[in-house]
Structure 1
């Protein structure tokens, strides 16, 4: 197995694959110090499709797993499959579901998927008219990839206009009330059986940097699963009204979607609505989800990549709960510090039920140092969410680096 990427999602994927008895070897390109503990790292640019494909051929990889969105949108999966190697991750054409929010809205409209009313704007005048039409709170989204930080939700009309002015093209959407839920689905497609969609169990992440959902959006400061408060039948409803219609519409367009489809959902007073689609595992929800997955990960990923997912048993889950708490560097999300020595990772992992997933880290001699905004995630397991949360924060208390930021309310009250 060859996992492509540098972050926490890739460390979590590599760790789960390394624990799978059917997997003989795990490689990561380029990886981080965390992935090096469970796999062999290779210094390959994840955006260079030809180099990724060359490495896959050299290793004799049975499967390439592309973690981040940017390589998928750039067509790295296409470069790998062109060399005859199975790849988990959609084609560049299908990854437009994440790469362009305007494209995703068009697909949802054609498929009858419930989502927020929206306007695509390219000029200040169009943005101003859309803001006035929809009213506050204002929701302004960069149309392209923005690493989870391209969205502004504000009561301040001028702040909304300023964000729009900084983007070539934006979506201005109606505000969706209610809690948000992340629902991932493994997808495969072949010409005989069509699309197969296996939803995972729902999770919830926390986007704002500070407690109480205050401060700017980040790539995610923590997540947990399961959601005991989610409405009964939510997964079946979303499969029927969102996931299956979307992959069917993508196939109808001649760009079948295979890989991981992520539906960000708002459980509004008017029903379930799609906030956004992503074309890959979300970070940090992947960390607690994979910690509870009770099925061999390799079988599911290979099935999705090769169009044979229908022949694989649907995902099964361990009892209990998992909570992930992200530790970020000083200045994040506006900036990030680097080179701060990280202590306590090994100590945290001595706590029963804790493992640490590295993201923005780098080696420095015998030390591991910070090298990005979101540095690592401490994952805690427990018999329920409260117990998993207590375990995770027990681990957090043992990790230290200068300027560390983390929320103290991940999964609180659940």
Structure 2
């Protein structure tokens, strides 16, 4: 048996050969890129890579080694593609992304919609983003807001996309897949839920509580402690306050922002009742035109993976790694029209004018079955 140090010396010698051969292979990959640049060919050739992997795996008899060879060369070919994407970008062969840079979002004389009624948290987010004097218009549903944007009836819509306690607003992720709109901004506001009742009502009178499903979730511990309070969901927290006012019943209460007490002439029975006292909701501002701020520093996109490809998500993620891009979020939602298919939503730091971002997006577009840039915008402006 060889001494361990002797074995390690042999390994070191082989590793030096591998590095040298790897360097030679990457040089040939650069020659391939030059050919593709001259002939305007795509970098990714799935059929060629699949055949290559099958051939290489056939060179070893052991099943364990076969899998190792496939994994090794998948990584080598992935790195080779990254090099080729960079060379195509340097040669000016960059496919336009379809977005136009602007200096600022102008709310003057623009129509802006939010879902709910006066006092909705979406209205608060709108006024935080566009200014306190922004009137805005209320619509009944989030789908109505998307329809208004896509039809060109309004300029901007404000929609919640995620809560720090209850998680994503799944319906709005689905609407982003369905409608061809662009995220142009975001606003995060602190959510303080209050229990509101008609004048003269007491907490012990309340047997029915109305609110949006997410607000009910965010106050679950409080409601569990008041077991006789039946939970009933409505489409909006402010709509719940409006209903309690209109019904005028002492046994009814709404969970909504405390500012709704003044709007609907209600009493504050309790306040800050949410489970997480640092409860926040992230809202997105969407528009029809594909524009982005010159100062934008966050990109959102969605994509679907090719069917039945092992390691596909890993390979897609490698585009961010090799281009030095920092991912800040990844979510998945079931795709419509198919069983067990998913759309992935990703947020990452960057601007559409940056070379690294362009290189990563080009790779993603070639190697996914569907791909869409949802927007490039300024990272959140938090409520003071």
TM-score by length of 1: 0.26
Higher helix share: 2
TM-score w.r.t. length of structure 2: 0.28
- The structure having more radius of gyration, on CA atoms, is 2
